[in-house]
Amino acid sequence: MASTSTPLTLPVLPLDDEVVLPGMVVPLDLSDAEVRAAVEAARAGTRGVGKPQVLLVPRLDGSYGAVGTLATVEQVGRLADGDPAALVRAVRRLRIGAGTTGPGAALWVETAAFRESDPGLPVAGRAAELVKEYKALATQWLRRRGAWQIVDRVAAIEGVGELADNIGYAPFATAEQKLKVLLEADQLARLEYALQLMRDHLAEEEVNDTIRKDVEEGVAKQQKEFLLRRQLEAVRKELAELNGESGSEEEDYRARVEAAALPEKVREAALKEVDKLERASDQSPEGSWIRTWLDTVLELPWNERSEDAYDIAGARGVLDADHAGLADVKDRIVEYLAVRKRRADQGLGQIGGRRGGAVLALVGPPGVGKTSLGESVARAMGRSFVRVALGGVRDEAEIRGHRRTYVGALPGRIVRAIKEAGSMNPVVLLDEIDKVGSDYRGDPAAALLEVLDPAQNHTFRDHYLEVELDLSDVVFLATANVLEAIPEPLLDRMELVRLDGYTEDEKVVIARDHLLPRQLGRAGLRSEEVSVDEPALRRLAGEYTREAGVRNLERSIARILRKIAAQSELGERELPAAIGAEDLRALIGRPHHTPESAQEPAERRTAVPGVATGLAVTGAGGDVLYIEASLADAETGSTGLTLTGQLGEVMKESAHIALSYLRSRGAELELPVTGLRERGIHLHVPAGAVPKDGPSAGITMTTALASLLSGRKVRTDVAMTGEVSLTGRVLPIGGVKQKLLAADRAGITTVVIPKRNEPDLDDVPGEVLERLTVHPVADVREVLKLALEPAEVLAAVG
């Protein structure tokens, strides 16, 4: 073989898109004409002396490179498939020179030696580190491919250039990358480049392995899940066939939606959700949300409506039978039904395309029958009744519903009430609307604005349903104890109906016709076994309970009947039993409320000067309010006005106004006010644990102070209410009916009210006015004249 420095003339064997590096042994397909011509030319040029030599020249993109690889033809034969091939061994790099001629049809060229750096042996330093790392990475790659027989051969390579040229066997190296290795003269740089190629490939393989592993695990899980689902579907199908059912759950939902009589927009929304359900996996939480939503939509009575009972006389009869009194409320319900009947008779139908349901606000103290009145209204109209308790509700979502994305989302209480009623036009009672609160979760009262507005509620949209709901034909009734606690915008959308409480006669009728029969059944007694006469019921209402409603009265009747039932079982009483007024003390103890007029003079609240009886309105109805005044001793040195009893700002102002008026008019009223500068006045309103406020105690405070200063007592049968001004005018107040009912219950016979409240007496029951002497007054002088005992009476007593 010629020396490596001797120029050679060699036939060119072109390699299309391939590069063979020194040290590689590769087969070449002789069926290619250029390859066959080069091999034959090489064999002809040697003439049997030595092994034929060819120059392997890479031809990339149709152009020849400037460097080729000298290769010896080791063997010519056929491959396993019978195709002719030649096995060549690449020896070293040669530079390509000018073309020349030679035997055969191949292209011959002159070559020159390729000068390259040689780090020499033994390898040390940086070269040794690169060799070690390359062998380690090559070994790792070969083991990953299962090429164990090549690992030892790579480990035995000592030369730096030879080790770098080994990258030519790597299938991941591109022809361009191999060409760069072929052209690199610096063996150390060549190894660094080959090492970088190996690093990049192994890093990519690790990522691919990770991805492939994840994909395989995912595919295996999906295959397992698919198999289990198929098995589950098969089991469900068998069970459905056994039960006479057919079809999948999704198909069942689609069939239910298509069969349901839904409004067009609701149907479209429901079918969209069915489409999502069919695409969703059973394990997806969205599937559960969609099923719950579809169930809710399908359960709503979209086209169910109750026919109104337009028998006006019959409706009035139902209201009268269920409730005694409450004439205003009954009249309003009858008016509403009469108008609807006339519009229906005339074919007017809806109002402006909407039905315009009524919204009534029943405001009154507890126990007067506000809630039970809603049931009577529904029965009178022939509609379904449902009650929505709003007391303590602070979350706006309770009214408008939760968004479906929240865990445990539900529609609002209005939608749930309609679903419970089974009709789109029920009577909905919004109970305790004045107890609605607000916090960081929103204002439920603000959410009720759209619900109760007849101009808006025909397109009410619940956050959970997200479809329009027509509430315009729903009759809304709202109940409240305190009118001032209802937000003003909400109250503006309702028609106010006041329930101020019952008279004693009405309570007796209610107890006889409603409470007693109900409690007899609860106590396990029959009407022929126990009877309670009217005087006993009247005493229960007047002396054992003092309230605007009848709740405590019913409790007292229940106590009596329980006691009788227990005595009967113990053998202490024979049935039937007739209960009279004289039997009450033995059964339920002494009376808790005795009229002031019936007490002994020494026990009267107004037995000393400085105590006056006022009237007030609380959440429990009207009540009697006592105001006490005392004068400090001059020797104590205390001055000014002291107020106690947990009074509000308005009530404190009334006290200061009353004192200022008396000081300015002391001489005119013949009151000793000159000494008030050195003596303090203490004004107290008993029941100090109860907050009190309002202007209606003004004349009561003035009377108490005038009584204190004059030494004249306040008449025990007189109670009063009214606001006072600095000039002595008596100004109007509210709640006249409730206050007069409270005065009647307390045994008061004379009541002083502002002159401008005189028209309010029309609302007071006639039997109450017969028992009371009402004095409308316009000036404080008239109040003092009526309320204070005459001076001559005081002197005679002294």
Range 12-22 average pLDDT: 87
Q: What is the pLDDT of residue 243?
A: 63
Is 696 in the active site?
Answer: yes
Q: What is the pLDDT of residue 439?
A: 66
Whether 754 contacts 722, CB under 8 Å: yes
**Residue 364 annotated as lining a ligand binding site:** yes
Q: What is the pLDDT of residue 790?
A: 78
- 153-167, 522-536, 601-615, 618-632 — most confident range: 522-536
Tens of pLDDT, residue by residue over 474-513, are 888 888 888 888 888 888 888 888 877 777 778 888 888 8
Q: By three-state DSSP, how is residue 793 classified?
A: helix
For 593-619, give one letter per residue: b (16+ CB within 10 A) or e.
Answer: eebbeeeeeeebbbeebbbbbbbbbbe
Q: How confident is the model at residue 754 (pLDDT cuts 50, 70, 90)?
A: very high
The pTM (predicted TM-score) of the whole model is 0.58
Q: Quickly name the fold that domain 9-113 has.
A: 2.30.130
Q: What is the pLDDT of residue 355?
A: 53
Q: How confident is the model at residue 596 (pLDDT cuts 50, 70, 90)?
A: very low
**Residue 367 annotated as lining a ligand binding site:** yes
Q: How confident is the model at residue 358 (pLDDT cuts 50, 70, 90)?
A: low
Higher-scoring residue by pLDDT: 93, 632:
93
What is the share, in percent, of the chain residues with pLDDT greater than 70?
88
**Rounded to an integer, what distance in angstroms lies between the CA atom of residue 460 and that of residue 451?**
7
Q: What is the pLDDT of residue 760?
A: 86
Tens of pLDDT, residue by residue over 251-303, are 677 778 877 778 888 888 888 888 777 776 666 667 777 888 888 888 888 88
| Residues β-bridged to residue 429 | 387, 477
DSSP assignment of 184-230, as one string?
A: --BHHHHHHHHHHHHHHHHHHHHHHHHHHHHHHHHHHHHHHHHHHHH
Q: What is the pLDDT of residue 602?
A: 33
Helical residues (DSSP H) of 601-697, grouped into ranges: 649-664, 666-669
Residue 346 has pLDDT above 50, yes or no: yes
**Residue 401 annotated as lining a ligand binding site:** no
Please provide the CATH number assigned to the domain covering 504-588: 1.10.8.60
Q: One of 696, 707, 710, 737 is an active-site residue; which one?
A: 696
Residue 426 has pLDDT above 70, yes or no: yes
Q: How confident is the model at residue 751 (pLDDT cuts 50, 70, 90)?
A: very high
Residue 796 has pLDDT above 50, yes or no: no
Tens of pLDDT, residue by residue over 779-788, are 988 888 888 8
**Residue 368 annotated as lining a ligand binding site:** yes
Higher-scoring residue by pLDDT: 250, 180:
180
Tens of pLDDT, residue by residue over 460-478, are 888 787 888 888 788 888 8
**Residue 370 annotated as lining a ligand binding site:** yes
Is 692 in the active site?
Answer: no
Q: What is the pLDDT of residue 228?
A: 79
Whether 196 contacts 180, CB under 8 Å: no
- Enter the DSSP assignment of 344: H
Residue 21 has pLDDT above 60, yes or no: yes
Q: What residue segments make up the domains of the chain, in order of their start? A: 9-113, 249-299, 312-498, 504-588, 601-797
Please provide the CATH number assigned to the domain covering 312-498: 3.40.50.300
Domain 9-113 identical in fold to domain 504-588:
no
CA angle 643, 645, 651 (to 5 degrees): 65
Q: How confident is the model at residue 100 (pLDDT cuts 50, 70, 90)?
A: confident
**Residue 369 annotated as lining a ligand binding site:** yes
Please provide the CATH number assigned to the domain covering 601-797: 3.30.230.10
